[in-house]
Structure 1
Amino acid sequence: MDDAAQPSTARMIDFWLGGEHHLPVDVAAARAFEGAYGPCAPLFRDLRAFLGRAVRAISAAGVDAFLVFGAGVPTRGNVHEAAPEATVLYTDVDPVTVGIGQRILAGSDRAGYGFGDATDLTTIDPALLHRFVPGWGSRPVGVVFLGLAAFLDDATLRRTLDDLYAATAPGSLLAVDFDSEELAAYPQALAMMGPTFRMRPPKAFGPLLGRWTPTPEGIVPVTRWRPDGPPADLPDAFHGGLAVRHAD
């Protein structure tokens, strides 16, 4: 089946962010979802703002290389734009989105894009990893893990985050988010998310991090994680934060 004939969450988000790298099938799916839930652009703009704040906090800690999972379209304030001095490797499992990302980043010497499944680190091209995340495993890096936890069961999520902990050097930082139970009140919208989508209560978020240690803010609604000003008045659909990889 042609992947371009299927809507992609990443490209739907690009549409909601006001981007240009999406297809008609993505716009149709985004509008159908909004018909069941309501406007989504403010939520995803707020989530993207959280990404920017988290990336800048990681950079301020002295980290200058990032590995991004479920990266989506690398524009509209994505990692290499929030940390312009860093090197970044974006990864995704959707080949159409990977192709879009490679076209956007063609010729960049600081950011690249390749296939990568967060649940299996061996799927990442080692050449890309060592080019754009130099010192992987031996020096601190930033790992961006946004939009993925909701599509992994608890056991897979714990294993995946533990594998990342084991693969990274002490001092590495993880940016992560979780979906709350917000969609429970919108059964039609929830049904559109598919059978693998998992909402979780906030009390479940911390234990899923395993050996990763949250920064003092904890895992909180993204509007209230180190806001640049008064938090936006939005539903608490996404919770997120940073977590640290300490020495064993």
Structure 2
Amino acid sequence: MVEPDQPSTARMIDFWLGGEHHHAVDVAAARAFEQAYGPCAPVFRSLRAFLGRAVRAIAATGVDSFLVFGAGVPTMGNVHESAPEATVLYTDVDPVTIRLGQRLLAGSDRAGYGFGDATDIGTIDPALLHRFVPGWGRRPVGVVFLGLAAFLADDVLARTLDELYTATAPGSHLAIDFDTEELAGYPEALAMMGPAFRMRAPATFGSLLGRWTPTSEGIVAVRHWRPARPVEPVPDAFYGAVAVRSTG
């Protein structure tokens, strides 16, 4: 495999999670961000643990297929590892990440990886959607939307979530996270996130969900969503929720 010359956020997160699918350029970028902010591994472990708890909670309702946007590297407790009986379609817009995901899942008959832009679900290959998310639009599914809200303007995010609400069947679930204003105190780290990055105050998160209804836990710091014990003390950089599409 050719060593990439540009870092990838997906592979940086893999590094922070202790995975094996990253390169020297990703480690260098991760270390630079840590110099500007602080240790990131505990924060991303907390976010990945939230993903696992959310996926297991959704699967416990009877949902047996998941559509994942902005999927990154499909390892280290990602969706198909958290719900091994479910079928999962991972999607991303980065071709290098997609090729890596396809290579890692090549032997799986329950998980696939393809192109998919969360803001335009029509970009997903219908054959992949039919294979790995059977009954899309007719049966409840789980939609995973982590790491994306911070890079979408309010109107785009609200429209995207509303389109997903319309496209999914009643009883479907959405797992989502939001970036808080944690990086406001770290201007160098904030600059590294780029001009599209949006921090938001927790009070604004609920309105962005539109018709999606959060479960009784609400939208909370990810370490406090149905927490495992003990709760790892990390900065509350991410809030998360599982929300439901009404059956009415």
Deviation at 1:3, TM superposition (A): 11
1:241 counterpart residue number? 241
Give the alignment of 1:159-238 within 5 angstroms. 159-238=159-238
C-alpha distance after superposition, 1:133-152 (max 9, x if no partner): 00000000000000000000
2:149 counterpart residue number? 149
1:45 counterpart residue number? 45
How many residue pairs get aligned? The number is 247
Deviation at 1:25, TM superposition (A): 1.5
Give the alignment of 1:17-166 within 5 angstroms. 17-166=17-166
For 2:212, the aligned partner's letter is W
CA–CA distance in 1 between the matches of 2:202 and 2:33?
Answer: 24
Is contact 1:137-1:169 (8 Å) kept?
Answer: yes
Q: TM-score, structure 2 length as denominator?
A: 0.98
Deviation at 1:230, TM superposition (A): 2.8
Is contact 2:171-2:244 (8 Å) kept?
Answer: yes
CA–CA distance in 2 between the matches of 1:139 and 1:5?
Answer: 43
1:107 to 1:3, Cα distance in 2 relative to 1, 3 A: same
CA–CA distance in 1 between the matches of 2:100 and 2:91?
Answer: 12
C-alpha distance after superposition, 1:174-218 (max 9, x if no partner): 000000000000000000000000000000000000000000110
5+ residue gaps, structure 1, are none
CA–CA distance in 2 between the matches of 1:24 and 1:95?
Answer: 19
1:9 to 1:166, Cα distance in 2 relative to 1, 3 A: same
CA–CA distance in 2 between the matches of 1:4 and 1:247?
Answer: 46
CA–CA distance in 1 between the matches of 2:58 and 2:41?
Answer: 26
5+ residue gaps, structure 2, are none
C-alpha distance after superposition, 1:58-109 (max 9, x if no partner): 0000000000000000000000000000000000011111011000000210
RMSD value over aligned CA atoms? 1.2
SS state at 1:72 partner = coil
Is contact 2:67-2:133 (8 Å) kept?
Answer: yes
Q: TM-score, structure 1 length as denominator?
A: 0.98
For 2:98, the aligned partner's letter is V
1:15 counterpart residue number? 15
Deviation at 1:40, TM superposition (A): 0.3
Is contact 1:66-1:143 (8 Å) kept?
Answer: yes
CA–CA distance in 2 between the matches of 1:233 and 1:86?
Answer: 31
Deviation at 1:4, TM superposition (A): 3.6
CA–CA distance in 2 between the matches of 1:113 and 1:12?
Answer: 19
Identity of aligned residues (%): 79
